[in-house]
A and B are shown apart, each in its own frame.
Chain A
Amino acid sequence: MNYETIIGLEIHAELKTKSKIFCGCSTQFASEPNANTCPVCLGLPGTLPVLNEEAVRLAVKAGTALNCKVNHMNKFDRKNYFYPDLPKAYQISQYDMPVCTDGAVEFECGGRQVKVRINRVHLEEDAGKLIHLEDEPYSLVDYNRAGIPLIEIVTEPDMRSPVEAVTFMRMLKSILEYCEISDCRMEQGSLRCDANISVRPAGQKEFGTKVELKNINSFRELQKALEKEEKRQIELYRFGESHKIIQETRRWDSGKGRTVSMRSKEEAHDYRYFPEPDLLPVIIDEAAVSAIKDSLPELPMEKYRRFTQEYGLSGDDADILTGDRHLSEYFESTVSEGAAPKTAANWVLGDVLRMLNESGISSSEIPVDPVRLRRLISMVEEGKISNTAGREVFREMFVNGGSPEEIVEKKGLTQISSEDAILELVRKVIAENPKSVEDYRGGKTKAMGYLVGQVMKESKGRANPSVVNELLTKELNRA
């Protein structure tokens, strides 16, 4: 019997506003505990919320980027529950009239054309954070995060495998980053994801009982958690124990690599939603929506299409490049400076990415100007310097700055293509390595590579490898 997996996601993304959603406090991450708080976000008696319009603008932007309908009138509601990190004991959220509804994102995954419908995008405030101390009988609360604006994006159950869910999340992340809606740093909690998953025997129409997974902190964990839960549910089906799948919330324990039951449906909260009387309904006129629509940048899917068609890049290369707005822009700047697209893509996906990973510098802050990269590429293509030297120059530009010409000059990396000069080195190497020469002539062609390497070494990497190859072959075969 085959089983089909059904997945829907609920994503929380912190909006990139300067101040909180209902007060003027800073949204700066990693400030001193409780430094970014005021009577309003601490929910002190008598204080009132005032809506940050930038948060609404970003939510509308997210909605339009996800092809949603923007609700010209939407409103806030109170979600009531007690928890020490929630200063007012209610969260200001949107219940029955969210800012955006009915969107969709389409992509291809493993040969299947996937369309994930977006049920809604709504605005709400974040809660604070509890810090549990080991060996202490008490916990601490940091309210810096309380009142940071969030959007909650709820999808329909349209994903059919953990991989599709992760692909959707990657897609969503790059959309939110492209539009500068959120930083999407999962490790800092600015992008969070809860997953609803159920399985059903193939062909069955009704959904199986769904389980909600919480506490997922990376794409990898999302995939692992979903796979684990998928396996658990399918096994229960296989053993005829599908009734043991109950509607519940399970917490993903990444350390132990398993999910643990948190609460069942019966224990679920009654949030007693009702309209927030301290805020007026939000009215968004058509002109504002159009202005936001017009301000949307080219989105990753469109850019992907353009990169493969216009530049002839492979799907994989285009995927990695367009997955990161800054990287794709860096690539395009290099191309617009005159570099050949495929060569530029090789450099960006090779040395640029490697240096970024090595240094931990973000792709928005690549220290090498695209013009200089283009000039470096030209020097390699014109044979002025070797490929190896080119990479050395790039590293130098990345780490210490400077122009490629200066670095080539300073380090003496100009490529030697003169046959006379190279021939001299070739003869020297042949004279000094009789064993390898003998091997080669005895039919061990592998020895050739060693000899080429020796010539390159003698030239300090500056000899033009194709000239070296040509002359070495000629010399070896002559005698």
Chain B
Amino acid sequence: MSGGFTRIPGKDCGFMSVCEISAGVAGGKYSASEITEMYIEKIKSMDDGIGAFLTVCEESAVAQAKALDEKIRSGKKPGRLAGVPVAVKDNICTDGIRTTCASRMLENFIPPYNATVVEKLLSEDAVIVGKTNMDEFAMGSSTENSAFRITKNPRDTTRVPGGSSGGSAAAVAAGMVPAALGSDTGGSIRQPAAFCGIVGLKPTYGLVSRYGLIAFGSSLDQIGPMTKTVEDCARMLEAIQGRDDRDSTSYMGEYQQDYAGRLGRDIRGMRIAVLKEFFTDGLDSEIASSVNESVRRLEGLGAAVDEISIPAAGDGLAAYYIISSAEASSNLARYDGIRYGYRPKEFADVDELMEKSRSEGFGAEVKRRIMLGTYALSSGYYDAYYKRAQKYRKLLRSQMAGVFEKYDLILGPASPVLPFKIGERMGDPLQMYLADVYTIIVNLAGLPAISVPCGISRDGLPIGLQLIGPHFGEAVILQAAYALEQELKLEL
């Protein structure tokens, strides 16, 4: 273990799992209060060195834990996540708790409502301990676009934790929480999970409600769990998924209920496709060999692995930046300084009020995407950009659906590069965008995918493997990820 990880003498929670805590609290082995206090202490002592949190909600977390202990004492059955401290990415609305999107624009925004996922966590008796840092409005791959602070990778504090859910990834990797929520529009859960050596799942579009998730690219955004282990990931997913009447894009069909219960199943006969387009020139050789090693191990467990090609997969990046930026340009238009959010002290009239609010309230990357998206939707350019990107998206979806007629999973690296140095890529947006090249096709196709640790580089940096499933194929993904996790037994 390198970097800023320190253990609390005498009172060490080490890396307790979601399962351990919830079982222990429900069974009376620990009180929720003692767990909460322990983690809050850990955050307080560690986070100065990591910078994962934007807000620590000590008071409300302690009160919540106390109420839970009371509930258990009175004999009531606690929820599935009893006493589990959870960190929530700061683009997910929390009632009465500042939700900033790591932007000046929303620096003082306190939502009067909870996101559906937060309500679900609370109803399962999880304890919300804080809000985590991110790239502003989830735009970025290193968390360096936060308006407030840099988050360091707990594995090597000179390096970025990935992004945009870098705060959540770092908090889990450092053991400051056993689980966190992230959001993934083009890889924002999976890439930081890979960079920090944890598990991160981007669910099928529609599986988890987006109500209360501050929108970036509405047709791509999904909230998902970030945890130390695959089993914890499954438990978290069970808690946060489900039909939500407040989200019209919420899945109307049957939801699989017991992901964790199916993890131990044999993967013998599982058909896995290795995507040729993932193994390009830009791929780091250590990552390539680590992924190849995982393929051999999965074969050893009885999986049948073939190399396949999805011709459209190579063009994802352009389509992704057009669609996500177009949607973002519209989603972020509401921040005009009129009703809430950043507003300049002086302005001559309403037009200047809006202009100044937006030019002073947003950071450079956000403005870049708004301009890109506005351009792509402009009359005269719509057909050449937005419409063409949507056509491509359809094509990609059908090509990927074709693969899932023959295969259970698609396999590849989660990121082409190892965690890079803080500041290294900030001057070069295109290099930064390339960090998402393996993850974006999943969002464009609305598919579920996980990033699970599959190796450690010579320099001790974590490497993540991506497993992509068919729509609502979370159970298969988790099953394969679990098998690999148990097989590799990485010392992370």
List residues of A whose CB falls within 8 A of some B CB: 39, 42-51, 78, 80, 82, 84, 87-90, 139, 141, 270, 272-274, 277-280
A47-B330 in contact given A270-B378, A272-B379, A280-B249 (Cβ < 8 Å): no
Mark out the residues of chain B between 298 and 336 whose CB falls within 8 Å of any chain A CB in the assembled complex. 326-327, 329-330, 333-334, 336
Q: Are B213 and A78 in contact (CB under 8 A)?
A: no
Q: Are A43 and B334 in contact (CB under 8 A)?
A: yes
Closest CB-CB distance, B330 to chain A, in whole Å?
5
A89-B336 in contact given A44-B111, A272-B377, A277-B218 (Cβ < 8 Å): yes
A87-B327 in contact given A46-B115, A47-B211 (Cβ < 8 Å): no
- Cβ-closest chain B residue relative to A81: B333
Q: Are A44 and B340 in contact (CB under 8 A)?
A: yes
**Chain B residues within an 8 Å CB radius of A270:** 378-379
Q: Is B97 an interface residue (CB 8 A)?
A: no
- Cβ-closest chain A residue relative to B252: A280
Please give the number of chain B residues whose Cβ is less than 8 angstroms from any Cβ of chain A in the complex: 42
Q: Are A89 and B333 in contact (CB under 8 A)?
A: yes
**Chain B residues within an 8 Å CB radius of A82:** 333, 336, 354
- Cβ-closest chain B residue relative to A50: B248
A272-B330 in contact given A46-B212, A48-B210, A141-B338 (Cβ < 8 Å): yes
**Chain A residues within an 8 Å CB radius of B340:** 44
Q: Are A274 and B247 in contact (CB under 8 A)?
A: no
**Chain A residues within an 8 Å CB radius of B339:** 42-43, 87, 141
**Chain A residues within an 8 Å CB radius of B111:** 39, 44-46
Q: Is B374 an interface residue (CB 8 A)?
A: yes
Q: How far is the CA of A45 from the CA of B114 in the complex (A)?
A: 11
Q: Are B99 and A274 in contact (CB under 8 A)?
A: no
Closest CB-CB distance, B91 to chain A, in whole Å?
8
**Chain A residues within an 8 Å CB radius of B333:** 80, 82, 88-90
Of B92, B109, B248, B377, the contact of A279 (CB 8 Å cutoff): B248
Q: Can you spell out 11 A-B residue pairs with CB atoms less than 8 angstroms apart?
A: A39-B113, A44-B113, A46-B92, A50-B246, A51-B248, A87-B339, A89-B330, A272-B330, A277-B218, A278-B249, A280-B248
Q: How far is the CA of A88 from the CA of B374 in the complex (A)?
A: 15
* Interface flags, B108-149, vs A, CB<8A=1, else 0: 010111010000000000000000000000000000000000
Q: How far is the CA of A45 from the CA of B98 in the complex (A)?
A: 12
Q: How far is the CA of A45 from the CA of B110 in the complex (A)?
A: 10
- Cβ-closest chain B residue relative to A270: B379
A80-B330 in contact given A46-B215, A278-B218 (Cβ < 8 Å): yes
Q: Determine chain B's interface SS by DSSP, over half rule.
A: loop
- Cβ-closest chain B residue relative to A39: B113
Q: Are A272 and B374 in contact (CB under 8 A)?
A: yes
Q: Are A48 and B248 in contact (CB under 8 A)?
A: yes
Q: Determine chain A's interface SS by DSSP, over half rule.
A: loop
Apart from A46-B99, A87-B334, A277-B327: 4 A-B pairs, beta carbons within 8 A = A45-B93, A46-B111, A272-B329, A278-B218
Q: Are A84 and B336 in contact (CB under 8 A)?
A: yes
Q: How far is the CA of A84 from the CA of B334 in the complex (A)?
A: 10
Q: How far is the CA of A87 from the CA of B330 in the complex (A)?
A: 12
A277-B247 in contact given A44-B111, A272-B374 (Cβ < 8 Å): no
Closest CB-CB distance, B351 to chain A, in whole Å?
8
Q: How far is the CA of A46 from the CA of B249 in the complex (A)?
A: 14
Mark out the residues of chain B between 196 and 254 whose CB falls within 8 Å of any chain A CB in the assembled complex. 210-215, 218-219, 245-249
Closest CB-CB distance, A3 to chain B, in whole Å?
33
Nearest 7 A/B pairs, CB to CB: A89-B333, A272-B377, A277-B218, A277-B219, A45-B214, A46-B212, A46-B93
**Chain A residues within an 8 Å CB radius of B91:** 46
**Chain B residues within an 8 Å CB radius of A278:** 215, 218, 248-249
Most buried by B among A47, A84, A272: A272
Q: Is B364 an interface residue (CB 8 A)?
A: no
Q: Is B53 an interface residue (CB 8 A)?
A: no
- Cβ-closest chain B residue relative to A51: B248
**Chain B residues within an 8 Å CB radius of A89:** 330, 333-334, 336
Closest CB-CB distance, B195 to chain A, in whole Å?
26
**Chain A residues within an 8 Å CB radius of B338:** 84, 141
Closest CB-CB distance, B42 to chain A, in whole Å?
29
Q: Are B106 and A39 in contact (CB under 8 A)?
A: no
Of A46, A80, A141, A273, the contact of B214 (CB 8 Å cutoff): A46
Closest CB-CB distance, B250 to chain A, in whole Å?
9
Closest CB-CB distance, B285 to chain A, in whole Å?
39
Q: Is B350 an interface residue (CB 8 A)?
A: yes
Q: How far is the CA of A252 from the CA of B111 in the complex (A)?
A: 41
Q: Are B245 and A50 in contact (CB under 8 A)?
A: yes
Q: How far is the CA of A399 from the CA of B92 in the complex (A)?
A: 60
**Chain A residues within an 8 Å CB radius of B219:** 277
Closest CB-CB distance, B344 to chain A, in whole Å?
15
Most buried by A among B333, B336, B339: B333
Closest CB-CB distance, B60 to chain A, in whole Å?
19
